[in-house]
Amino acid sequence: MNQRAKTYRKLHDIPEDTSREWGTAVNVQAMVFGNMGNDCATGVAFTRNPSNGAKDFYGEFLVNAQGEDVVAGIRTPQELTIKARKSHGSDLPSLEEVMPGIFRELENVRHQLENHYRDMQDIEFTIQQGKLYMLQTRTGKRTAHAALQIAVDMANEGLISKSQAWESRGCKVRR
């Protein structure tokens, strides 16, 4: 019943007494920690490479860390895949090597998200005591080159139609 809530209800024509008519929405979520030991980690990933659009699982993670540690630059993040580790010349093991079961589970989630949203996804995850938790997903930002490559590939894969590929790049399709 604070002033902000009252103003919001007034602006959106929501009655003051919503308990009987509207109900109450609540989100309940568990806290998970990627910094509880060497069987924990946190990371960010793209379902495809956001620079060039290649259908490569692209991202980084840190063992025994929280999300802000990945982007803070305090520690050097590790690559998700063996392929990326080798291409970047890193001596640090990839998630694929450190936690192969979790990596396979994350790979499955990657495919489920792309099949559901029919677009490249930017995902955040935490591993707590050997269990994978997905924190969030959103449409991934990408370069213009990557946008074109992803649209063409997804159309060729049957995830989207050719007209959707054009429209997703801002082109008008005449029918």
Tokens for 141? 């930002």
Which pLDDT score, from 0 to 100, does residue 124 have? 96
pLDDT (average), residues 50-71 = 92
Is 92 exposed, middle or buried (CB count within 10 Å of its CB: 0-12, 13-18, 19+)? Answer: middle
Closest CA to 98 of 125, 128, 63, 124: 63
Q: Is residue 149 part of a domain?
A: no
Query: Which position has the higher pLDDT, 152 or 17?
Result: 152
Instruction: Kindly report, residue by residue over 100-143, the tens digit of the pLDDT.
Output: 999 999 999 999 999 999 999 999 999 999 999 999 999 999 99
Is 135 exposed, middle or buried (CB count within 10 Å of its CB: 0-12, 13-18, 19+)? Answer: middle
Q: Is residue 52 part of a domain?
A: yes
Q: Is residue 48 part of a domain?
A: yes
Neighbours of 69 (CB within 10 A): 16
Neighbours of 71 (CB within 10 A): 10
Neighbours of 61 (CB within 10 A): 26
Which pLDDT score, from 0 to 100, does residue 93 have? 97
Q: Is residue 163 part of a domain?
A: no
Task: Give Cα separations from 119 to 153, 158, 168 (angstroms).
Answer: 11, 12, 10
Instruction: Kindly report, residue by residue over 72-104, the tens digit of the pLDDT.
Output: 888 999 999 999 999 999 999 999 999 999 999
Instruction: Kindly report, residue by residue over 2-52, the tens digit of the pLDDT.
Output: 888 889 888 888 877 755 566 667 788 889 999 999 999 999 999 999 999
Any residues with CB less than 8 A from the CB of 37 and at least 6 apart, and which?
Answer: 64, 129
Maximum alpha-carbon separation in the chain: 62
pLDDT (average), residues 57-70 = 92
- Whether 151 and 157 have beta carbons less than 8 Å apart is answered as no
Which pLDDT score, from 0 to 100, does residue 18 have? 58
Query: Which position has the higher pLDDT, 123 or 175?
Result: 123
The two beta strands, 131-139 and 121-128, are antiparallel
Q: Is residue 78 part of a domain?
A: yes
Query: 121: helix, coil or strand?
Result: strand
Say how many domains are in the chain.
Answer: 1
Could you list the residue range(s) of the whole structural domain that residue 74 is in? 29-142
Q: Is residue 157 part of a domain?
A: no
CATH of the domain at 35: 3.30.470.20
pTM over 0.95: no
Place of tokens 């995850």: 125
Q: Is residue 111 part of a domain?
A: yes
Q: Does the pLDDT at position 171 exceed 60? A: no
> Distance between CA atoms of 169 and 113, rounded to whole angstroms?
20
Q: Is residue 104 part of a domain?
A: yes
Q: Tell me the pLDDT band of 172, cut-offs 50, 70 and 90.
A: low
- Whether 139 and 119 have beta carbons less than 8 Å apart is answered as yes
The values of phi and psi at residue 151, to 5°, are: -60, -45
